Amino acid sequence: MIDLRILVLGTGGTIAGAAGSATGGTYRAGGLALAAMLEQLAALGLDAQLVPQEIARIGSQDIGWPQWQALHAACAAAMDDPAITGIIITHGTDTAEETAFLLDLTLPTTKPVVLVGAMRPADAVGADGMRNFANAVKVASDRQATGRGVLLVMGDAVLAARDARKAATSAIDAFRGFPRGPIARVTPARIDWFAPPHRQEEPAHYAFPDSLPRVAILAAGAGMDEQPVEALLGIGCKGMVLAGMGQGNAPACVLGALARAAAAGVPVVRSTRVDEGIVDRNVEVDDDALGLVAARALGPAKARVLLMVLLANGITDASRLQAAFDGG
């Protein structure tokens, strides 16, 4: 039997949140130290040995470049360390999909990497964090969890990073997957994987960059004009993601301004503000003529992550950008 040794990277979030009241409506995300969380877990009698490393103790709304850099470095080191069999990252749920996807794009798939969060603070009645964490330990301990990219465990569901998305502000069951729903369920007895691993022994898709360019999300709304596009160009945006209406639509004047931005070397990706669905090329918007890229299944937040990584890796040409959005 292999000795299971899991690196646990703590970043904060509600899973480490302290309300100071079992029923209170306010709380501080990241109030609880990682060591205190792991002490509570030790009482659950899990099989794996957990190795804590605190990266931050913040709400994930404040996560950005410094924490991403630290997380990537810690994960990359753990991938190379034969004593570590898997990685868990405790994370706030607000931006879990962004961190998960960034790491998914920039890490090899040789060991399980599992993000886990919670919707209720650790000291609330009916807190979900310990349950989610225990499930994350099970998943990170499972050999079948490798070769699938970065995973997100919430409740009893396992989602792939590329699919995962926060879809509710406070419900326990806050995450959905699109285009795939959960790729596995954790049951009390086992983990049911719905398909075999499809990314066995893959190297990282992209190099983790030295910095990330400024890429903004532009929310479309009825009756808007093109001035927000001009404003974003004015602050030096290197790329833009449209959170468009329906299939990535926007008023004609906005699409015109976005096309001018693309022609001036600021790539533009069209995604949708709708909860789910594919944004395809050249359906309602003539992407070929306007020089735009369709986000396909990625929502605005993950489209922005992918565009930042691509631009940082020197990929700026619309057809190469489109190929990356089509992929995987």
Binding residues for ligand ASP (CB under 6 A):
13-14, 29, 59-61, 92-94, 117, 119
> DSSP 3-state assignment of 300?
helix
Minimum distance from residue 69 beta carbon to ligand ASP (Å): 19
Residue whose beta carbon is closest to ligand ASP = 92
Return all residues near 314 (Cβ < 8 A) that are at least 6 apart.
none
> Do 285 and 78 meet the contact criterion of CB atoms below 8 Å apart?
no
Q: Which residues contact 246 (CB under 8 A, 6 or more apart)?
A: 272, 274, 284
Q: Which of 309, 75, 301 is nearest to 206 (CA)?
A: 309
Distance of closest approach, residue 117 Cβ to ligand ASP, in angstroms = 5
Measured distance CA(49)–CA(211) in Å, rounded: 34
User: Measured between alpha carbons, how far apart are the two ends of the chain, in Å?
Assistant: 33
Q: Which is nearer to ligand ASP, 59 or 209 (CB)?
A: 59
Q: By three-state DSSP, how is residue 48 classified?
A: coil
CB closer to ligand ASP out of 60 and 272? 60
Min dist CB 90 to ligand ASP, Å, is: 10
Query: CA 262, 268, 272 angle in degrees (round to 5)?
Result: 150
**Catalytic residue chosen out of the listed positions 14, 93, 95, 106:** 14
Complex with ligand ASP: residue 105 or 154, whichever CB lies closer: 154
Task: Provide the minimum distance between the beta carbon of 19 and ligand ASP in the complex, in angstroms, as a whole number.
Answer: 12
Nearest residue (CB) to ligand ASP, 60 versus 67:
60
Q: Is 109 a catalytic residue?
A: no
Catalytic residues: 14
